[in-house]
Amino acid sequence: MSAQLVWELVKKNNAFIRKSVNHTVFSAEPGNVANKHSYKYSGLANRGATVDVAAANGAVVISKSSKKGKLAGSVCKKNARRTNHAAAAEAQSAGRPDLKSAAQARASALSKGIRKAKAVAASQMSTHPVAVERRALLKYILQDLQARGVEVLLPVGCSDFDEWLLDALSAERLLKQLRGPTKPARLDLINACVSASTGPLATGRRDSWQMPPRVGRESMSHGGDEVPLVDIRSLLHADSSATPGESQQAAAPAGPDEAADGAPQLRLRSLQVGLREHQLKELAYAVFLSCCGKTASRGLLASLRASLELPEARAGELARITELASKAGVASLASLDAHIKLLQTVRPTAFDSFRNFVKWRDTVTSVVWLVLSQAAREAWVATPGGTVAAAPATDAAARTLLARLKGGLRRLDVRTADEYDDAEYAEAVEAVFAAAERLAKHCQTGWTFPWGLRARLAELLLRGMFDTLDEGQYTEQRQELLSALQGSVWRELQIGPDVHNAVFAWVHYRQFAVSQELLLLEVSRQAIQQIKAVPALPPADGGSSPLLVTKEQADAAFPAEVVACISEAVCGTLSRYHAAVDNPRVMKGLVGVLDAAEAACGRREGLPALLEGCIAASVEAAFDASLAELSANVSAEEDLIMLLAASCAELYKQEATVYAPLLAPAQPAARVIAARSLHEVYGAKMLPWLIGVNGLTKSALEAIRASMALEELLLEECRESPDAQIAPWGTMERLSPLLYTWAQGQITMLGGWMDRILASEDWTRVSKQRAHGSRSVVETIKIVTETLEALFNMRLAIPAGVVRCLTEGVDNALQKYCDFVRTQVGSPDALIPPPPPLTRYKRELAVAAEEAAAAAANGVPAGQLSKVKNKMADAFTPNWLPPLGATEEERRVDGLSYDGLVVRLNSVQHLLDSLGGLERMVVDRWDDGRPRSAKAREGAHAYDWIAGMFDGARRTAARTRDHLARFIAVKVVFGDLRDVIFERLYRFHVQVSRLELVLQEVDRLLGDICGRVHDALPPRLGRAVCAALASAVQSVLLDGGPYRLFTPQDVDLLEADLAQMRAMFYADGDGISLEEVDALCRPLSDVVDAMQLDTGLVIQNLKQAQASGGRGAPSPRGTPAAMNPDVLLRILCHRADHAASKFLKKDYKIPKKIPGGLSASVSDVAQKAGGLLRRSKTSPRG
């Protein structure tokens, strides 16, 4: 069956339809994602392809229909943003892209509904003094209402007046429920609650940004009781014992101060006359007709009638009444007696209908009652011409006359034509006139209109200058109207030039507020400047009455009130100029009007403070508007914070470029004020969220970065003003625990990575190019760099302590790598041969050994030697040098190839070279992330933590590098050249085997190794090989075995060899410096110098050294070799001198041969010596 047919069958008859009168029809069937009763969303007609989103068990369930028509659901417990994406994806996959927006909207709403609100601890509630006093006052009011019998309904879940409830209550909404014609029986607090963003703290902040208190503002509506509106019918039908004030409680809710078009109103207590707007307009038109109706043109009357919103028929009736008044001798209707005379003169026949007559009569009687009743209460004099009574309301005569006046007015209250009787009406009018006349005599004000009524009439008449359709343009009759008002009307109403200019300025500002016509602001400003004298308003006297204000007093005080009202209205606009003002010229005009108003009132010095409050209030209003808009579209809190920061940044840039230059002439610190206000309001929203952040997610980091960028922008502005310093939010200080936790986690992971890297290292080159290290060092530097960059890629102002924590972990990891390399290689000292036992010179043995070695070298068989010589050689030829690889440690060290050692050495050098780059990267990235405000605040000492950043790794790597260089040097000298140096060099005689052969081998081996190492390593290898070779040659001279024999005459040859060694390592300046070579060869040079001493002098020095007890290591610092007993003793052991041998035998019992356990056959020694002579050049192993 087709879907269309199914829809036609079920659209009016199914169990899921939900109908209500005059409302949209909804549907509850499964699969209807919008719950709307339509074919598009129907889950019955479109069963083959629908999407549904519901909530279950604290999660959002997203379902789409399967091929069999059953809904297949999936539970989504992700955040709101991902839930929205999932809902849209399900709609797309179901083949219904038209349902994507509906599915997202439903998913978003359900996510908000099931999201749990965080509980707020009592300690987190506001302790602001304003908030505390506000709670106490609200609680007292509510308890008092309960005591008076009002039922106070608490929200569900609230059993008492809790603090959160009192914070959420709106005083305006409470007053709105309490105000009314009757006392409310119950008060529902849930209807008086507002959102948390408008709570007491925000209210207190707004209050602190309001205009400074004005002297005399108590005379405005905010400083006194409002005059209620009078309904003559409720007055006349009320109990006669009720006072006028009590009978006025049934007033209608609308009043003259409330404009339907939203235009500003003069909210002055003196202008609250109690009449309705239409009554004031009719009265104003009637006064104008009575004063200049005969001279005014028809166009002026028509324009004024349109301005006062009077129908033409009604205007005609008022014109006829004015003519009747003129015939009756009433020249002007600007006084109370004229209107009472109208009651005597005018009858229903002057109107088109009796209803119109009743409407006119109600206006006149309302004026009569208001003026006289108020005068009797506030301006009553017991004797005509006397002073005002101290307590006029208690005067019996006043109460009697008011009762008579009220009775007369009640008799006039005839509502229908059938009840009207002319004679009775005339009698009632006479009674009213009699009571009114006596009241006027006993009131200081007499028959005159109250000052407030006259000012209200003047305002309404001046509005007639403007076109009713285009309220920003003047009418053609403007000049005629002004001439008429200033020529006759103002004289009758007793309005002077200053009052005219004040009202004129107010009317123009009001019309600007309605039309946004810029010219009107300039006219208003000029009118304010024309006011001659506006004295400072005196403190309001609570017992004074507006009725007692004389013309002179009104001319002096009323302009000040009007100008103050203009100032307040301008401040109201400027308090939201981000939303209300989009034209720079308008902004400039508003500031000009405010400046003129404050100057006219003598408060110009307070203008900067006034503008400061306006700027702060407007910034907060713009912030609240942005917050409300973003909150409606964004569900994730971190996204809201981020977008709000961007919105605040744009708001401040707009403030700095558009509004601040216009405000600067009057308030130079406009930008600073805006920055400070934005910093406060955004911080109040962001900091509670920041405290609750428990993970450094991507979205949270974006929000934090946006917040810090905004704060830096705002602090940069405030930094230039020393008087506007604000405390930073301390964002990074609040995030420090999370950052330390993150750093510790990275350090732990880094340790695990290092273990895996080192376990898999085989010490092979990653490239055949020179100076390349191992794979492990490349990976180690890469991982370390990525770890450090991950911290700075957060793009936050990372605290120095967090950076130091992470760098210390990296430093330990690099030290671990170097220690692993050094420990794995071990010590090369196993290759250094032990010193042989000391022997003394024996000429026969030396000659026999030399001849045997020469014969073996020449190929003579051992059997051809003479028996004597053979025996001597067999008995005294030693074999003290152990073969290489005799021990396990020697075999391990000798088994390490040069390639592996070079790779290790290059790796350590690569690590050392990388440390400087790591340090620069850390410092640069950290410094780039610091805001300029922090740099200016902390100064140069902020970089103190940088010192010694990777010193531990640097020292360990340098120690490992030197260890590897020495290892290679020992392996070359004591390993590869072991036989050449310790078996052949200087054997029997110096001239037989010189050092040149050894130097050639060293140069070849060292050159081959240096060609494979880093460019910075050859000098270090050269120093290490030079030191090892000098040590080996010194060992040959002092511990070279029984047949290393020297005489003082050999020193010249030794010094020549030593000079050749120096020259090789210096390499004409390409190798080691001469100073370093000399320092490395100095111990050997000292030994050679001591060898040239005469035997007797050597013996004498030895005895003297022994006598002084100066025994120690060879050539200790500060002790010359010529005075070192160990050196001198060994020189004597290798001295080919009978005197030396005799001395050693006598004093030291040193044998002439090595013990038997170390001896070998002459033939073996000869063959070995011959083999050494014939051996070709050796090459390094590995």
Higher-confidence residue of 1099 and 81: namely 1099
790 & 932 share domain: yes
- The token pair that represents 904 in the structure block: 């290790």
Find the range with the poorest average confidence among 11-25, 693-707, 1040-1054: 11-25
999 & 1085 share domain: yes
With cut-offs at 50, 70 and 90, classify the pLDDT of residue 522. Answer: very high
With cut-offs at 50, 70 and 90, classify the pLDDT of residue 851. Answer: confident
1015 & 1105 share domain: yes
Q: Is a pLDDT exceeding 90 seen at residue 963?
A: yes
Q: Is residue 14, in this structure, part of any structural domain at all?
A: yes
Average pLDDT for residues 609-625, to the nearest whole number? Answer: 92
Average pLDDT for residues 860-883, to the nearest whole number? Answer: 57
H helix or E strand, kind and range, residue 62 = strand 59-65
1010 & 1088 share domain: yes
Which of residues 73, 99, 124 is at a domain's end? 124
- CA-nearest of 274, 276, 351, 281 to 309 is 281
1125 & 995 share domain: yes
Q: In the structure, how many helices (H) and strands (E) does the chain have?
A: 47, 7
* Predicted local distance difference test score (pLDDT) of residue 52: 62
Domain range for 1106: 976-1157
Spell out where 894-1033 has E strands: none
With cut-offs at 50, 70 and 90, classify the pLDDT of residue 127. Answer: low
- Reported as half-sphere exposure (CB side, CA atoms, 13 A), residue 498 has a value of 20
Write the pLDDT tens digit of every residue in 90-113: 777 777 777 777 777 777 777 666
Average pLDDT for residues 446-451, to the nearest whole number? Answer: 78
Number of compact structural domains in the chain = 6
Q: Is residue 576, in this structure, part of any structural domain at all?
A: no
Average pLDDT for residues 638-652, to the nearest whole number? Answer: 93
Q: Is residue 668, in this structure, part of any structural domain at all?
A: yes
* Predicted local distance difference test score (pLDDT) of residue 290: 87
664 & 799 share domain: no
In whole angstroms, what is the distance from residue 1157 CA to residue 480 CA? Answer: 146
Which of residues 433, 448, 463 is at a domain's end? 448
* 8 A C-beta contact, residue 791 and residue 729: no
1055 & 1129 share domain: yes
Average pLDDT for residues 878-886, to the nearest whole number? Answer: 72
Q: Is residue 543, in this structure, part of any structural domain at all?
A: no
Which of residues 678, 695, 729 is at a domain's end? 729
For residue 476, give the DSSP letter. Answer: T
Q: What is the mean pLDDT of the chain?
A: 78
Q: Is a pLDDT exceeding 80 seen at residue 592?
A: yes
In whole angstroms, what is the distance from residue 646 CA to residue 780 CA? Answer: 40
778 & 908 share domain: yes
Write the pLDDT tens digit of every residue in 26-37: 787 777 777 777
Average pLDDT for residues 478-484, to the nearest whole number? Answer: 91
Q: Is a pLDDT exceeding 70 seen at residue 593?
A: yes
Strand, helix or coil at 582?
coil
Q: Is residue 971, in this structure, part of any structural domain at all?
A: no
CATH number at residue 1026: 1.20.58
781 & 679 share domain: no
pTM of the prediction?
A: 0.61
* 8 A C-beta contact, residue 638 and residue 702: yes
Q: Is residue 1178, in this structure, part of any structural domain at all?
A: no
With cut-offs at 50, 70 and 90, classify the pLDDT of residue 505. Answer: very high
* Predicted local distance difference test score (pLDDT) of residue 550: 56
With cut-offs at 50, 70 and 90, classify the pLDDT of residue 862. Answer: low
Write the pLDDT tens digit of every residue in 346-369: 889 889 899 988 998 888 888 888
* Predicted local distance difference test score (pLDDT) of residue 1040: 83
* Predicted local distance difference test score (pLDDT) of residue 728: 84
* Predicted local distance difference test score (pLDDT) of residue 955: 94
Write the pLDDT tens digit of every residue in 773-782: 889 999 999 9
With cut-offs at 50, 70 and 90, classify the pLDDT of residue 17. Answer: confident
Average pLDDT for residues 931-938, to the nearest whole number? Answer: 66
697 & 772 share domain: no
Bin 826: left if φ > 0, else alpha if -120 < ψ < 50, else beta: left
Write the pLDDT tens digit of every residue in 727-762: 888 888 888 899 999 999 999 999 999 999 999 988
Q: Is a pLDDT exceeding 90 seen at residue 251?
A: no
Average pLDDT for residues 605-634, to the nearest whole number? Answer: 91
Alpha helices in 223-276 (DSSP H): 232-236, 244-247
The terminus-to-terminus CA distance of the chain in angstroms comes to 88
With cut-offs at 50, 70 and 90, classify the pLDDT of residue 944. Answer: confident
1019 & 905 share domain: no
104 & 136 share domain: no
With cut-offs at 50, 70 and 90, classify the pLDDT of residue 972. Answer: very high
Q: Is residue 308, in this structure, part of any structural domain at all?
A: no
Q: Is a pLDDT exceeding 80 seen at residue 24?
A: no
Higher-confidence residue of 532 and 1023: namely 1023
Q: Is residue 1011, in this structure, part of any structural domain at all?
A: yes
